[in-house]
Structure 1
Amino acid sequence: MVALLGAGIYTSVSIGNDLFHSRLNQVLLDANRAATAAQNIFDASDASSEASASTLLDSAQTSIRASSSSRLIAIYAAPGQDQGATSFLPFASPELTTGVISTQLRDEVAAGSGTQTQYWQSRPLSNGDGGTDPGIIVGTPLTIPSSGQYLLYLGYNLSDSDQTLQFVQQTLWVAGLLLTLLIAMVAWVIVRLVIEPIRVAAETSQKLASGELEVRIPEKGDDIIATLARSFNGMADSMQGQITQLADLSQLQQRFVSDVSHELRTPLTTIRLAGDVLFDQRDSFEPAIGRTAELLHTQTVRFELLLNDLLEISRFDAGSADLNVEATNLVRLAEDTIDQMRPLADSAGSELLIDAPGGHVEVEIDARRIRRIVGNLLGNAIEHGEGRPIVVSIDSNVSAIALSVRDYGIGMSALEAERVFERFWRADPSRKRTIGGTGLGLAISLEDAALHSGALEVWSESGAGSCFRLTLPRVHGQRAGTSPLPLPPLDAEGDADSGHAGVPDARG
């Protein structure tokens, strides 16, 4: 449309200029012919009487009208001419007596001499209906013997050229409108034939990315768009097959773990009952048999914990884990868990401290799962804390509540910290387990945190201890936002610079 508008304006201006200059050339030739005829009459006369002068003027006007297409004629004495000394009186058509002839044109014609004897100016002319038409006034100086210098003005109405220009402009506008409609139709066809298939391909790819693996692009014809559709659909079929195969394998694995765990429960229960009987009677056995009964009981308990963890992991993998949300005070939950873990901490020589400046609020959480997370974090801190104090911090802000477990033990390297949440991974496989964990505790804790729309993060440095931070939203279903507890902890620099300078006083 911009191109058409520019072309239309350029064409209209060009045609208008051509029409005007063509008409101007005709007018100048016409006016020159009329002025020459009048001047010839004046030059051939030797009138001296008033009657013959009047006859001469009539003859000149008649000659002008015969030689020119204009009927708008005016003859004025040149400025400074003594009109009282001559019998020639000014003459003008009514259309040229209302200030149509400008002072500028009068001055130019009066001062004209030499080769340039014609002067013109564009002026509006009355059309007799109360309006005006575009016109041209042509002025030519005349010399009348025994009378002096006079000025001849001829007016030419350009209404016919203006009507022609208006007709051309209307034609251009109509042609431009029709061409615009044609371009719009062509654009619509292009959109239908080219852009629409691309849009369909984009929408189909978005649906594939969102998990709708069965969607395909319609294949029509044999052009390049159809080739693209076939290639895209082939890629989608391959992806769907691969994803379906992986999903089937994942379901088989989950079902296998779940079935094995369930099937092992019955014999495990029998072994557990038998082991408990032997464990209760271990004092009456010989020392070697009593020790065997103790080992059987310990490993049976660990085996049962491992089965429970495997069942829990299989629920997360299958997407069947759910939350039993209730309003819970996280500080009290942490205190209860600390009380349960205190005997184990005392046996390891670690003191459990709690710091809760802003955690005394009710939050919507699954208390069982959060208690399991806190227990796993405390168990790991006790096992790797090297007998030093362990600090549990709890704080909250407008959108989140956080709990961190800080120990000052052996710590981990950056590479080990990245893998700490992997299943069955151990930082030091040769290190003796004092608690007897299954190797799935932190992996389950990470899944429990994610199930709450929260986050479980870790900071650790070798020789400076570790800090695990759990951040949960205060309202279930909302985002947690920024955690109120820092990570790394505030005493991390002190630990890194001076060994264990940041370890709190166990007597505090």
Structure 2
Amino acid sequence: MTATSATGTTVALWRDWRGWPETIATAWRRSLRFRIISITLLLTSFAIFVTSLTMALVIQNNLFESRRDEVLSDALSAVGSGQKTLDSAEVTDDASALRALWGDVRDEIPRASSSSLIAAFAIDEPPVGTGVRGFTTGLSADLLSPGLRERVVSFPDRQAWQSVSLPMEDGSTAPGIVVGQQLIVPEVGAFEVYIAYDLADSQQTLQFVQSTLWVAGLILIAIIIGISWAVLRTVSKPIIEAAETSARLASGDLEVRLPVHGEDELATLARSFNAMADSIEAQIKELGELSLVQQRFVSDVSHELRTPLTTIRLAADMLNDQRDQFDPTTNRTAELLHTQVQRFETLLADLLEISRYDAGSVQLELEATSLTSLAEDIIEQMLPLAQGRGSELRLVAPGGYTPVDMDPRRVRRVLRNLVGNAIEHGEGRPIVVTVDSNQHAVAVGVRDFGLGMDPEDAQRVFDRFWRADPSRQRTIGGTGLGLSIALGDAKLHGGTLAVWSELAVGTNFVLTLPRQPGDLTGASPVSLEPEEVLSEVSHATQPMQLTELRELYFTDSMSNAEEDTP
């Protein structure tokens, strides 16, 4: 393997390792089975660890105490045997006999003990000529701590012991115990006698017991996890099926049902779910049928009203043309009749359009069109109405000149509706129409500085026949369906129509259309929440003609037109 490939492998492993916490967190949030198995594993492991540790400590203490008591008993017996030999002998002034007796004691203590590691030291200097001296057989005085020797000297009628590490022949060490007590030699004095015991066999036994406990604990954990998995699979499988079935039901598959097995709680849940699904399916079908009836009714009524409405409109037009020949009251009546018939005709056209959207029978007639050109045409059409309300129409078009496939009739209707609403609610303040584009979309924003709305009202602004202030009358002939139809036109293009509004600050509508057919990707080229305030656009007090707007913005904008091409 080369250095480059090794480095790449290391980086890949590091990336995989960094992704593990996120993967585990995702599984924890989304998988009930993983969460329960993890909790069971952690709690079981902790419980078995505590239990095994406690048992290991208890066994260790019991084994050590048992071995210690055995060692103390053995040492006491061995030293007692030596003391018995000394006490039973007839001690004389003969030094050779005393040396022979001491030799018998030196041989007796190892025979009576299970250890050959023995050492003896005279507490006081023996009399000269007795020939009785201390000895060591495999036990070095360096292993005896001063504290142990002090206790042996200070308490002649007691045993003293300590734990030590005994050196082995291979250079290693083994745990051991050294037991010390006094031995009284007649005519000579007291001796310190120490016997060391090797605990390697006890250590091996303890290690075997501890390893057995840990292996048994791991096996027990594996068994518990297996049992938990089997039980959880039995319980969670119906829950997972219920979740998947609910998701399919929510997505519109009304025929899906849960299988029912047995008579337990899960079977009861499945039967209740199926009953609920049957009820929902029946209600949805009933609502669908009612919706079809409603749509058909609206469509039929709208079509049936067209013939009498055409007759009424012709009569109203004729009366309106001759109203100057009538008296003032009849003149005013003819004028009102003509206006309301026109409004009724517009409402009827909107109702027909809404019925087509509800029936899903609307088709786009696409052609390459410049969104900036459409905005200019709408501003030119709406300029007299804006002048009559004292509002100034301003066009800002840094982009949007490149033709994009759209239905110009529907987009023109959306813009006319947005600009008309801005004029009606703009309170005579300036209205800014912004057109821009990027590589993904083209967009137009219509900004007014009028009354504005609170967030709750802004969420309902696209509802049919809804008004933020019911007491406020429409002054330019709106039907209450314009924004709803505009939203439908935007969605039909695969675009969006969004609104931002704030009380006493104004409102901003942004229509965004994709350059290519399909859903939008990326942000809109026109910001929904505007940054400019009224003071920044109020320097121009007189309404401008469209030719002046074109002269003001067209020159600067065309320099950026080529950048609109994706």
Note the 1:169-184 alignment, pairs <5 A.
Answer: 169-184=210-225
Structure 2 match to 1:58: 103
Structure 2 match to 1:498: none
Q: How many residues align?
A: 486
- Please state if 1:478 is matched with 2:514: no
Once the two structures are TM-superposed, the CA of residue 59 in structure 1 deviates from its matched residue by: 2.0
Do the aligned partners of 1:417 and 1:459 also contact (CA within 8 Å) in 2?
yes
Once the two structures are TM-superposed, the CA of residue 24 in structure 1 deviates from its matched residue by: 0.8
What is the alpha-carbon distance in structure 1 between the residues aligned to residue 227 and residue 105 of structure 2?
Answer: 65
Matched position secondary structure for 1:455: strand
Q: Percent identity, aligned pairs only?
A: 39
Structure 2 match to 1:37: 81
Q: Structure 1 residues 118 and 375, CA, compared in 2 at 3 Å: closer, same or farther?
A: closer
The superposition leaves residues 432-480 of structure 1 with CA deviations (integer Å, 9 ceiling, x where unpaired) of 86x544432222123334555423436486xx79645224267661254
* Aligned residue among 12, 15, 21 for 2:65: 21
Structure 1 match to 2:533: 490
Structure 2 match to 1:497: none
What is the alpha-carbon distance in structure 2 between the residues aligned to residue 12 and residue 460 of structure 1?
Answer: 72
Once the two structures are TM-superposed, the CA of residue 30 in structure 1 deviates from its matched residue by: 1.6
Once the two structures are TM-superposed, the CA of residue 13 in structure 1 deviates from its matched residue by: 1.2
Structure 1 match to 2:251: 210
The superposition leaves residues 167-208 of structure 1 with CA deviations (integer Å, 9 ceiling, x where unpaired) of 433442343234223312321232023333333333333333
Structure 2 match to 1:196: 237
- Please state if 1:332 is matched with 2:373: yes
Structure 2 match to 1:391: 431
- Mean Cα deviation higher: 74-83 or 183-192: 74-83
What is the alpha-carbon distance in structure 1 between the residues aligned to residue 419 and residue 297 of structure 2?
Answer: 32
Matched position secondary structure for 1:154: strand
* Aligned residue among 160, 165, 179 for 1:123: 165
Do the aligned partners of 2:158 and 2:181 also contact (CA within 8 Å) in 1?
no
* Aligned residue among 192, 198, 203 for 1:151: 192
Aligned-residue CA RMSD (Å): 4.5
Once the two structures are TM-superposed, the CA of residue 25 in structure 1 deviates from its matched residue by: 0.9
Once the two structures are TM-superposed, the CA of residue 18 in structure 1 deviates from its matched residue by: 0.5
What is the alpha-carbon distance in structure 2 between the residues aligned to residue 147 and residue 421 of structure 1?
Answer: 119
Once the two structures are TM-superposed, the CA of residue 375 in structure 1 deviates from its matched residue by: 0.9
Matched position secondary structure for 1:217: coil
Report the residue type matching 2:243 in the other structure: A
Once the two structures are TM-superposed, the CA of residue 487 in structure 1 deviates from its matched residue by: 5.8
Matched position secondary structure for 2:509: strand
Do the aligned partners of 2:448 and 2:506 also contact (CA within 8 Å) in 1?
yes
Report the residue type matching 2:63 in the other structure: L
* Aligned residue among 249, 254, 272 for 2:290: 249
Once the two structures are TM-superposed, the CA of residue 56 in structure 1 deviates from its matched residue by: 1.2
Once the two structures are TM-superposed, the CA of residue 28 in structure 1 deviates from its matched residue by: 0.7
**TM-score, normalised relative to structure 1:** 0.77
What is the alpha-carbon distance in structure 2 between the residues aligned to residue 16 and residue 114 of structure 1?
Answer: 31
What is the alpha-carbon distance in structure 1 between the residues aligned to residue 366 and residue 273 of structure 2?
Answer: 45
Q: Structure 1 residues 149 and 205, CA, compared in 2 at 3 Å: closer, same or farther?
A: same
Matched position secondary structure for 1:92: strand
Structure 1 match to 2:446: 404
Once the two structures are TM-superposed, the CA of residue 505 in structure 1 deviates from its matched residue by: 1.3
- Please state if 1:67 is matched with 2:112: yes
The superposition leaves residues 325-357 of structure 1 with CA deviations (integer Å, 9 ceiling, x where unpaired) of 7775443321111222335556x4646521416
The superposition leaves residues 104-124 of structure 1 with CA deviations (integer Å, 9 ceiling, x where unpaired) of 466336633344343333433
What is the alpha-carbon distance in structure 2 between the residues aligned to residue 294 and residue 17 of structure 1?
Answer: 112
Please list every run of 5 or more consecutive structure 1 residues that lacks an aligned counterpart in the other structure.
495-500
What is the alpha-carbon distance in structure 1 between the residues aligned to residue 458 and residue 196 of structure 2?
Answer: 101
What is the alpha-carbon distance in structure 2 between the residues aligned to residue 455 and residue 228 of structure 1?
Answer: 43
* Aligned residue among 237, 258, 261 for 1:220: 261
The superposition leaves residues 30-86 of structure 1 with CA deviations (integer Å, 9 ceiling, x where unpaired) of 211211221232244425445323421332134324433x13142332367369754
What is the alpha-carbon distance in structure 2 between the residues aligned to residue 93 and residue 206 of structure 1?
Answer: 85
Report the residue type matching 1:222 in the other structure: E
Do the aligned partners of 1:105 and 1:139 also contact (CA within 8 Å) in 2?
no
What is the alpha-carbon distance in structure 2 between the residues aligned to residue 506 and residue 286 of structure 1?
Answer: 35
What is the alpha-carbon distance in structure 1 between the residues aligned to residue 219 and residue 505 of structure 2?
Answer: 81
Once the two structures are TM-superposed, the CA of residue 248 in structure 1 deviates from its matched residue by: 2.6
Matched position secondary structure for 1:111: helix
* Aligned residue among 295, 308, 317 for 2:358: 317
Is the radius of gyration larger for structure 1 or structure 2? Answer: 1
What is the alpha-carbon distance in structure 1 between the residues aligned to residue 372 and residue 364 of structure 2?
Answer: 20
Do the aligned partners of 1:302 and 1:436 also contact (CA within 8 Å) in 2?
yes
- Mean Cα deviation higher: 203-212 or 467-476: 467-476
What is the alpha-carbon distance in structure 1 between the residues aligned to residue 82 and residue 191 of structure 2?
Answer: 11
The superposition leaves residues 199-240 of structure 1 with CA deviations (integer Å, 9 ceiling, x where unpaired) of 333333333333333333332222222222222322232222
Do the aligned partners of 1:118 and 1:140 also contact (CA within 8 Å) in 2?
yes
Do the aligned partners of 1:406 and 1:466 also contact (CA within 8 Å) in 2?
yes
Structure 2 match to 1:7: 51
Once the two structures are TM-superposed, the CA of residue 258 in structure 1 deviates from its matched residue by: 3.8
The superposition leaves residues 366-404 of structure 1 with CA deviations (integer Å, 9 ceiling, x where unpaired) of 343332122123334556678x46523316587884422
